[in-house]
Amino acid sequence: MNDSKMPTEEELKKRLKPEEYQVLREKGTEVPFSDEYVQKQADGIYHCKVCGAPLFTSNDQEDATKSPTGLQGWPSFNDAIPGTTTTKLDSSHGMTRTEITCATCGSHLGHIFDDPSTKTGRHFCINSICLNLEKE
């Protein structure tokens, strides 16, 4: 999606549910276990709810119930589709974390943590509310 097709914040406020807007555009966190993608639903590609960019594959989805303590309840991935996300340091709420955003529209997706139990050593803790699954 190029900038000319990117919805304005006002358009997004109308299109998205308030809780979706709060997480995607205001860097919030959804309540754990509150949305549909906590567990793998089907094979396919997970897309950004704001711009539709592909972000994750179901092949890289982990079992969120077996995530490290404190990270359970949100969709978990061990990697993103290359080039689809960006990261930056997040020092909010008295913590130091790595925020992950959509590279296309800049929407907040969640955070990345070190996790030696995954094949990549990384744990992408993603807000389910940020994603749409396109089933294969």
pLDDT, tens digit, 9 for 90 and up, residues 56-73: 999 999 887 776 766 788
Q: Is the pLDDT of residue 2 over 50?
A: no
The reported pLDDT for the residue numbered 117 is 83
For residue 132, which of 38, 60, 37 has the smallest C-alpha distance? 37
pLDDT in tens, 44-54: 999 999 999 99
Q: Is 48 a catalytic residue?
A: no
Rounded mean pLDDT of 91-111? 94
Domain 3-135 classified CATH 2.170.150.20?
yes
**Catalytic choice (102, 105, 125, 130):** 125
What stretches of 1-136 show up as alpha helix (H) in DSSP?
9-15, 18-26
Count CB-CB contacts under 10 A for residue 56: 27
Q: What is the pTM of this model?
A: 0.90
Q: Is the pLDDT of residue 111 over 80?
A: yes
The reported pLDDT for the residue numbered 72 is 82
Share of the chain above pLDDT 70, in %: 94
Is the distance from CB of 7 to CB of 116 less than 8 angstroms? no
